[in-house]
Amino acid sequence: MNATHKYVEAKEHFDEIGIECKEVDINFEKLMGSKDKAVSGLTSGIEFLFKKNKVDYAKGWGKFSGPNSITVDNNDGTTSEFSVKNTIIATGSEPSSLPAGMLDIDE
């Protein structure tokens, strides 16, 4: 998203501050490669921190199956059940809203 934001700035807004760009184009193959590299670096960094701090995590689609349990349909096709005290919900780059009042959120 950062790269496409910069593209729009260059194409549509730089002239407002005196920078003229005659040709602005996107190389999507290069753009996606850059995005994949950034995502890989961020996710591997988070996984390292989880392992270092002995945090259990799952990759997949999860749901609360009880007051202190979570069921996850893992990306590899298996299913996992976790008994939990505290939960962090990481939705990725496109947040999903929870229904109003579903959870007490401690910010």
Task: List per-residue pLDDT tens for the chain, 107 residues long.
Answer: 688 888 889 888 888 999 988 888 888 899 889 888 988 898 899 899 989 999 888 888 889 999 899 999 999 999 999 998 888 777 666 656 666 766 666 65
* Phi-psi label, residue 47: left if phi above 0, alpha if psi -120 to 50, beta otherwise: alpha
- pTM > 0.85: yes or no: no
Q: Which residues lie closer than 8 Å to 61 by C-beta, 6 or more apart?
A: 72, 73
How far apart CA 59 and CA 24 sit, in angstroms, is: 38
- For the chain, give every domain's residue range: 1-55, 56-92
DSSP 97: P
Instruction: Provide the pLDDT for residue 105.
Output: 62
Instruction: Provide the pLDDT for residue 4.
Output: 82
